[in-house]
Amino acid sequence: MTLPQGEAFGLIALAVGMFAWGRFRYDLTSLGVLLAGVLIGVVPAKKAFDGFSNEIVIIIGAALVVSVAIARSGVVDAAMRPLLPRLKTEQSQVPALVIITMLVSMLTKNVGALAMLMPAALQIARSTGVSPGRLLMPMSFASLLGGLVTLIGTSPNIIVSEVRQEVSGHPFQLFDFAPVGLGLAAVGAIFLTFGYRLLPKDRVGSAGLDAALTTIVYTTEAKVPDPWKHSGQTVATLTALAAGSAVTAIMRGRERLIAIEDSTPIMDGTSSSCPASSACSTS
């Protein structure tokens, strides 16, 4: 093995380790490893960003756009709405969500399919008292298996298709992966229907964003529009609308008012700073 090859494998190992650690965002880790490759000479500086012009990136981006468009159209929600009241137990919820996730993953990017269906799964978990993890993890596996069926379902299929086109001049068609993918998806669906029982029932996740924000005191600034129909109202009126907030300062032009009283008026074009979880009713 040559030195450049060793350095390349070392960078890959570093990237995998950083991804597994999870301390930094994936995009920052990827760009950091790319920069390291340029600095040590493994990646030519002139070709550092050639990957962003690759057709695969455009195709994957387009597939994600289609996934978002389908999600915003509400088609999936409308299709699932009649089914949701019937899913009362885990025994019915897991198979139904697994199969639906697989089907949607066949038609769109598997990541987008999972993102579309997660809100419905969380709603089911809340309404029936089921652990969200025992629904979401089977759905995650189902999205991966469903993506194997079609060309656009998962990124590796697209990459392999492009390589085949470069080698033979003939890319894979949309359903060329289906004979193998459907078999794997069927076996995976059968296993997930029963295998979800291996997941823990009593594992409690960390607090959600809403719960975390309710326990954090922070400061924000709100600007009063000019003109404002409520100009002249007092600080007491504002804080009564936003329970738990307090105005600490008011800016009028370059003047900063620190001695704030309940009777202090709030005029057009001013800004106020408020520390609270619902500061100035703008957060």
SS3 breakdown of the chain: % helix, strand, coil, rounded to 5? 60, 5, 35
Tell me: do 190 and 78 sit in the same domain.
yes
Same domain flag for 72 and 181: yes
What integer pLDDT is reported at residue 101 of this predicted model?
A: 92
Please name every residue paired with 272 in a beta bridge, in sequence order, or none if there are none: 222, 250
Any domain includes 150: yes
Sign of the Cα torsion 52, 56, 60, 65 reads positive
List of residues 6+ apart from 104 with CB closer than 8 A: 76, 113, 116, 117, 146
CATH of the domain at 249: 3.30.70.1450
Angle at alpha carbon of residue 189, lines to 60 and 154, rounded to 5°: 10
Q: Give the pLDDT score at 129.
A: 85
Domain co-membership, 152 together with 42? no
Residues 7 and 91 in one domain: no
- Given a cut of 50, the residues of the chain with pLDDT beneath it are 209, 212-213, 215, 276-283
Task: With beta carbons less than 8 A apart as the criterion, state whether 57 and 51 touch.
Answer: yes
pLDDT at 217: 56
Please tell me whether residues 131 and 73 are part of one structural domain. yes
Residue 62 lies in a domain: no
Domain contains 63: no
pLDDT, position 181 = 94
Query: Residue 140 and residue 146: Cα distance in Å, rounded?
Result: 10
Residue 256 structural domain: 209-281
Structural domain count of the chain: 3
Residue 264: what pLDDT? 78
Whether 222 is covered by a domain: the verdict is: yes
pLDDT for residue 276: 44
In a domain, 60, yes or no: no
pTM of the full predicted structure? 0.58
Asked if the structure places residue 58 within a domain, the reply is no
